[in-house]
Amino acid sequence: MNALREAAALDARLTTRLRIAEKPGPLRNVAILLAHSGDSPLWLAGFLLTLWLGSDFWKHEARLDLIGVAATAILVQALKLAFRRQRPAGEWGQGYRKIDPHSFPSGHAARAVMLAVIAVALGPVWWTALMLIWAPLVALSRVAMGVHYLSDVVAGIICGVICGIGVLGIAA
């Protein structure tokens, strides 16, 4: 039990060090942009547009991504309901806090990593590189903006890897 308390204390300390939500400046502005870039409605609109206008390759990826987003959402919401961990206190992200008061695991981190896993498998190289850079930045931005603890995004990353591999396994 002592190890669990120590791990929770370390999580809280690291989370506080990464937090910039209350510090105005360009780094905060970039963190806000990254934090919102993982929002579901943005990606769902992009997938639907791709299904309508994209090439066969991109339509295939969009279909897999949509399946992955659904699977990731189901897994993340089930875990959030099981753990019911409250988000860190803060003012930024009131919409997130009202719609979903639970923070563990991070849905944004899970979704971003799941998309990156699919990108790694399907390519092209430029898209894979972009997604591999973007996904961890989304995860860290959620901590930086104070809507998640560091352990929330680590758990989200694990969920994203599992869901991405699962979708690719089903699609194979």
Delimit the domains of the chain by residue range. 2-171
Region 88-113 average pLDDT? 92
Domain 2-171 fold is Vanadium-containing Chloroperoxidase; domain 1 (1.20.144)
What was the pLDDT predicted at 8? 86
pLDDT in tens, 31-84: 999 999 999 999 999 999 999 999 999 999 999 999 999 999 999 999 999 999
Region 142-170 average pLDDT? 96
Region 18-41 average pLDDT? 92
Can you tell me the distance from the alpha carbon of 158 to that of 172, in angstroms, rounded to the nearest whole number? Answer: 21
The answer to whether the predicted template modeling score (pTM) of the entire model surpasses 0.85 is: yes
Can you tell me the distance from the alpha carbon of 34 to that of 68, in angstroms, rounded to the nearest whole number? Answer: 20
